[in-house]
A and B are shown apart, each in its own frame.
Chain A
Amino acid sequence: EIVLTQSPGTLSLSPGERATLSCRASQSISSSYLAWFQQRPGQAPRLLIYGASTRATGVPDRFSGSGSGTDFTLTISRLEPEDFAVYYCHQSNYSPRTFGQGTKVEIK
């Protein structure tokens, strides 16, 4: 099973700051099958990025994804109040599909 390790576990930032979230895979995966989700309290996860770098429909352009192989990054260029949430990376290259343990972006 592919293990996805996200860092940091918690990111404390202020609105307007830049957030950089990391996701490292235990073995190389195709960037076509790496996605990022956002989950706000009490809500279902929302697809932000798929194919490592393609924004899903309706996702603001302050969200961007990059990476390949085993190292992937989600960047939020300027944090808005609604961006404070938990973010998960996810791989669908190999079965079983797996998720990272999540990075919580909290207000400093």
Chain B
Amino acid sequence: QVQLQESGPGLVKPSETLSLTCTVSGGSISSSYWSWIRRPPGKGLEWFGFIYYSGNTNYNPSLRSRVTISLDMSKNQFSLKLTSVTAADTAVYYCARGMSAFSAFDIWGQGAMVTVSS
């Protein structure tokens, strides 16, 4: 059974880069579409974008200028980098799987809380 686990720093300073990794276990990353999603405190869910094992990506235009999603097939991991963070980027960050470019997210990680503060 495929499982996802986020990892990375829980505290990031303003203007710095937030970096998170999602490790895929119980299955191969070389299929499916891999996304990042966040939920700021008291707000709803926001999709960052996805990456396919071929390296193709699709980003949310509202975040595209600050976001990079990449994958490491040798480690069965994919990653999120968000540059120039502010307090508004404080959120729980989730990685998730979609079986196709249009399918719903059927498997989610448990989430990683990231706080942006000096």
From B12-20, B24-32, B40-48, B83-91, the one touching the partner chain is B40-48
B47 pairs with A97, CB closer than 8 A: yes
What is A's interface to B at a CB cutoff of 8 Å?
Answer: 1, 32-33, 35, 37, 43-47, 50, 56, 88, 90, 92-93, 95-102
- Smallest CB-CB A-B distances: 10 pairs: A35-B104, A44-B108, A96-B60, A99-B45, A50-B104, A97-B47, A101-B44, A92-B102, A47-B106, A102-B44
Main secondary structure of the interface of A (DSSP, over half): loop
What is B's interface to A at a CB cutoff of 8 Å?
Answer: 35, 43-47, 49, 58-62, 94, 98, 102-106, 108-111
Q: Which residue of A lies closest to B46 (CB)?
A: A99
With A44-B109, A44-B110, A92-B98 known to touch, is A98 a contact of B47 (CB < 8 Å)?
Answer: yes
21 cross-chain CB contacts under 8 A:
A1-B61, A1-B62, A32-B102, A43-B110, A44-B94, A44-B108, A46-B108, A50-B103, A50-B104, A56-B106, A90-B104, A92-B104, A95-B58, A96-B49, A96-B60, A96-B61, A96-B62, A97-B60, A99-B44, A99-B46, A101-B44
